[in-house]
Amino acid sequence: MTSNSEDAPSSLLLRGGTVIDGTGRDRFAADVRIDGGRIAAIGPDLAAGDAVVIDVGGKVVAPGFIDVHTHDDQAVLSAPGMLPKISQGVTTVVVGNCGISLAPLVRADVPPPLNLLGGGDGYVHPTMASYVAAVDAARPAVNVAALVGHSTLRVAAMDDPYRAATRAEQTRMGELLREGMDAGAIGFSSGVFYATGAAADVDELALLAGIAGDAGGVYATHIRQEMDQVLASLDEAFAAGRRGNVPVVISHHKCAGPANWGRTVQTLAHIDAARARQPIGLDAYPYVAGSTVLRTDLVDGIIDVIVTWSTPFPQMSARHLADIAAEWNCTQQEACERLQPGGACYFQMREDDVQRVLRYPATMIGSDGLPHDVHPHPRLWGTFPRVLGHYSRDLGLFPLETAVHKMTALSARRFRLAERGELRAGFHADVTVFDPSTVADTATFERPARAARGIEYVVVNGVLSYADGHATTQRGGRFLSSRPRSA
């Protein structure tokens, strides 16, 4: 695929489709006209003029989907075609989640979980401004909005990120974060679940979240623990958000491990009560398996575990940990240790919990896909069509209008992405056209790298980027900030 800065927005007329505008309101029949990178008009029988006319009869015309939870920081630079995302109808990715962002950090060899971003060779950006320039130069197929990661700040500011930070180190982290917000980041993320963040207390989180909040950003958090300590971990996140006076996003909400299955009844009631006091959003992906680095504390010998990558044993990718352990005549935990560094899918959730969280009104859709894994979790390629097809159409979990809302307007408002997430005249022309009768994920745990069915056209900033099941040669993405950049 080729691309350059010449990829200009087209004049397009999407004729005869059904508009689901992202707000959650009922669908209606209308044409959509796109001019100069913006939605020019929505209405019946629009004049074509000099626009390229695309017949979208029988199809849904929706705002482009916003993937609010990604680890695409490096992928947007190294694989700017972003096929796993554009093929799902995603037009914007939020990078830097779970405390892990590519910037600001210059380091040749990074500790886990920073290696989730594809090894150490990408950590070459001393500032967020440097990363923003790299995104603009790469011109990815999708828009990029960035969070500044807490673990990244700790690795940048401390000689040893596994201990409590000194006052001076916290001041340095704050300076780096402020630079990131000035350069256009939309918030701060933490992942105190991970060793590089775990030594931070709520004071440090509140201090840094508050800096993001002062600059108009959000605080997204992979909480300390999603198993028996899930309620206390939620409370810690709420406290950091309240003290920092910043909206909170609970990342990939779940109750993990068989002993905690069914407890989303409790956690969602708890979140509901907290939402009466402070702004809180959630994101979730539509699968019962999670995925992250290999960790023995996530291996209990009960749940199924599939290896997604392993540096010492690359041939074990895609294999079940139980089978590897049997072959090696050891416990699953011992096998897990020998396979590290690596990653895995953990079947740590139950279906009723997944559905309860997806249905919850404040829940946005985020894939949490890991683009550098050898054998990735299928959420990387399947999240958005799976919500539209499997959960909305086939299971009737919620109307299609609600499904679209959870991946568009709800997300744009929560992350303060101006003039996106809705089909409205004057807004940026990020548009996805899909067939509501066929849209479906085809990626599976066995064959994870497969493009969705039923995504017909994807337009990013007015640039037709995906058509007839293929990426076009044009890319229209750009770096987005919640506030206009001075440059």
Q: How far is the CB of 20 from Zn ion (least distance, A)?
A: 29
If the CB atoms of residues 251 and 392 are measured against Zn ion, the closer one turns out to be 251
Query: At 125, is the secondary structure helix, strand, or coil?
Result: strand
Q: Which of 440, 405, 482 is nearest to 65 (CA)?
A: 405
Alpha-carbon gap, residue 285 to 232, rounded angstroms: 22
Q: Which is nearer to Zn ion, 22 or 197 (CB)?
A: 197
Peptide bond into 113 cis (omega under 30): yes
Place of tokens 């605080």: 219
Q: How far apart are CA 420 and CA 15, in angstroms?
A: 21
Shortest separation between residue 222's beta carbon and Zn ion, angstroms: 3
**Which residue's CB is nearer to Zn ion, number 222 or number 254?**
222
Distance CA 373, CA 364 (A): 24
Smallest distance, Zn ion to C-beta of residue 256, A: 11
- State the nearest-atom distance from the C-beta of 285 to Zn ion, in Å: 10
| Nearest approach, Cβ of residue 122 and Zn ion (Å) | 19
Length of the chain in residues, anyone?
A: 487
CB of 55 to Zn ion, least distance (A): 41
Buried b / exposed e across 272-306, counting CB within 10 Å, b at 16+?
Answer: eebbeeeebbbbbbbbbbbbbbbbeebbbeebebb
Task: Determine contact, residues 219/245, Cβ cutoff 8 Å.
Answer: no
| Strand extents, DSSP E, 393-479 | 431-434, 455-460, 463-467, 470-471
Give the CA count within 13 Å in the CB-facing half-sphere of 245.
4
| CB of 252 or CB of 356, closer to Zn ion | 252
Taking the least distance from each CB to Zn ion, the nearer of 222 and 414 is 222
Residue listed under structure tokens 């050898």: 374
- Report, in Å, the least distance between residue 49 CB and Zn ion: 47
H-type helices in 225-319, by residue range?
230-244, 264-275
Judging by beta carbons within 10 Å of its beta carbon (0-12, 13-18, 19+), is residue 232 exposed, middle or buried?
exposed
Q: Are 68 and 249 in contact (CB under 8 A)?
A: yes
Nearer to Zn ion, 84 or 436 (CB): 84
DSSP per-residue string spanning 188-213: EEEETTSHHHHT--HHHHHHHHHHHH
Least distance (Å) from Zn ion to the CB of residue 213? 21
Chain-centroid distance of CA 306 in Å reads 22
Residue with smaller CB distance to Zn ion, 13 or 98 = 98
DSSP element (H, E) containing 220: strand 218-222
3-state secondary structure of 475: coil
- The least CB distance from residue 345 to Zn ion, in Å, is 14
Residues that bind Zn ion (CB under 5 A): 98, 222
Nearer to Zn ion, 98 or 209 (CB): 98
- 46 vs 98 by CB, closer to Zn ion: 98
